[in-house]
A and B are shown apart, each in its own frame.
Chain A
Amino acid sequence: MDALLSKLLLYLQYPFVIHALIVGLLIALCSSLFGVTLVLKRFSFIGDGLAHVAFGAMAAASVLGFANRTAFILPVTILCAVWLLRGGQSARVKGDAAIAMISVGALAFGYLLLHLFTPSANISADVCGTLFGSASILTLTEEEVWLCAVLSLLMLLVFILFYHKIFYVTFDEDFARAVGTNARLYNLLIALVIAVIIVLSMNLVGSLLISAFVIFPALSAMRLFATFRTVTIGAAVVSVLGALLGLLLAIVAGTPVGATIVAIDALAFFLCTLAGRLRDGATG
């Protein structure tokens, strides 16, 4: 125990570890906030598709040798998000096939690129790292850390400013449109933000685990709470605590960051479900 603690303290002396921690928590915070919207708008599968797109873009960025990969992945993912959500909710069914196509295509394309052009012999480790995040949050360049921090703060600001409007257009889009709100514009904004969140989360947990990372805290909070405000706050708390615990554990135990965080989120979901059941059982 002492050894683990001193190991942790040793790590925490390095500024880059502290920075990674802060960025990780910021990413966890804003991903959980918009995770609620993602779940309520039934956009979860879009998140998954976009994560694969981000993987493909990441592969392309690595092969092309960009120093700041995030700066390349971001616009590509945003474009895909806007394209997928352009039809709004009514086009959802038709969109299904498009999403499957894009996501699997991007995955195959990305893997192929890495396979063909990566000089390192250890390609499976590289791919694994991109898919599952490994310790990637600690390997981000200074520049990327800054970009992530600024983007998360920006998303946080967007969420605070549009909190009531997100509720309003998500709860009843027909009413919003009827009373003269441009719901389409808000859907576009949500798509845009979700794309940004996914790219940010990829840095923390890797592409395959993004959906779980973004959605688990929201689902956990929805098991316990029944108003938009409490669910939002609950999701944020679960996500930030999960990420903090996961990051520290990963540092100490040397486990992969993404998998550790998501495992903790899954555990939290299980506990919240149990607590919700117990409470409902007790009152009803």
Chain B
Amino acid sequence: MPQILCRDLAAGYPGHPVFSGLNFSVNAGDYLCIVGENGAGKTTLMKTLLGLRKPLAGRVEFGDGLTPREIGYLSQQTPVQRDFPASVREVVLSGFQGRMGLRPFYNRAEKEQARENMARLGIEDLAGHCYRDLSGGQQQRVLLARALGAARKLLLLDEPVAGLDPLVTADMYRILRELHQSGMTIVMITHDVSEALPFANRVLHIGKRLFSGSQTEYRSWRAALAAPAGKAG
């Protein structure tokens, strides 16, 4: 049983299905990239996987012992109220809440791991800063650090490198590869086909045509699509 199984999934908004008939699975240890044009429905798919939206049809099933509490998530947009008082440390630590159950306070290990995650993303110096006063790229890194705290088996990322500078972007991919090598399943939405795709073992394309397969299969599928009609397959 894969960690996530989508059967005949249709998702979208009431009266406005974005895609339908999607079948694919995510297995433990996968590094899956989800690609497609703007507005193709990638974010909608991820929200449906996470249960933030109800599927219009079909099913999303979790298997292989995966529970939502072992998932880390970085959303494409995080609308945080302008006046919300929150320090970087408070935000990063809150990533552990899912796994804490009813335990009221963070333990030593969690505080230490939060510090490590902040160091990993180069935001250790910002720990005491106010979240809302950071730049967009800095905020993105804070939310990533929070997602790392939540992720124990699976990390879902919606355009994680959007807004990051080239240096941090390269770092980001290195971190994801390390996590992947240590056994984390990675599912990432990206437009960065040239940089991000090489790390992926699986690719899912969302759009008018749906595609799911290995990286080489994806490349030949693209090539076939680009080729003159008649050859496509």
Contacts and interface: CB of A to CB of B under 8 A. Distances in A.
A171 B94 contact: yes
A176 interface: yes
Given A171-B94, A228-B87, A229-B87, A179 B104 contact: no
8 contacts: A164-B97, A175-B150, A178-B156, A179-B97, A179-B150, A180-B67, A226-B87, A227-B128
Interface stretch (A11-19, A155-163, A244-252): A155-163
Contact of B104 (A163, A226, A227): A163
A164 B91 CA distance: 10
Interface string A176-189: 11111100000000
For the residues of A in contact with B, the DSSP-based class is helix
A170 B94 CA distance: 11
Contacts of B52: 174, 177-178
Interface in A46-70: none
Interface of B: 50-52, 67-69, 71-73, 75, 78, 80-81, 83-87, 90-91, 93-95, 97-98, 104-106, 128, 130, 132-133, 146, 150, 156
B85 A227 contact: yes
A160 B128 CA distance: 21
Residue from B51, B84, B85, B104 having most chain A Cβ neighbours under 10 A: B85
A168 interface: yes
Interface in A205-245: 222, 225-231
A160 to B, nearest CB: 7
B98 A164 contact: no
Contacts of A179: 68-69, 71-73, 95, 97-98, 150
| Interface band, chain A | 20 to 34
Q: Which of B94, B106, B146 has the most CB of A within 10 A?
A: B94
A154 interface: no
A40 B69 CA distance: 25
Interface of A: 40, 160-165, 167-168, 170-172, 174-181, 222, 225-231
Contacts of A176: 97-98
B84 to A, nearest CB: 6
Nearest to A177: B52
B83 A222 contact: yes
Contacts of B90: 167, 227-229
Contacts of A229: 87, 90
A275 to B, nearest CB: 16
Does more than half of chain B's interface fall in helix, strand or loop, or is it mixed? mixed
B130 A226 contact: yes
B73 A167 contact: no
Contacts of A230: 85
A168 B97 contact: yes
A181 B101 CA distance: 9
A112 to B, nearest CB: 39
A261 to B, nearest CB: 24
A227 B98 contact: no
A230 B86 CA distance: 9
Given A171-B94, A174-B52, A225-B85, A160 B104 contact: yes
Contact of A175 (B78, B83, B105, B130): B78
A164 B94 contact: yes
B80 A172 contact: yes
Contacts of A165: 97, 104
B105 A40 contact: no
B104 A162 contact: yes
B73 A175 contact: yes
Contacts of B93: 164
A228 B69 contact: no
A131 to B, nearest CB: 30
Given A171-B94, A174-B78, 7 more contacts: A162-B104, A163-B104, A164-B93, A170-B84, A177-B51, A226-B132, A228-B87
A175 to B, nearest CB: 6
Given A160-B104, A168-B94, A168-B97, A175 B87 contact: no
Nearest to A162: B104
B94 A167 contact: yes
A168 B90 CA distance: 9
Max chain A Cβ within 10 angstroms of own Cβ: one of B91, B93, B130: B91
A168 B80 CA distance: 12
A178 B84 contact: no
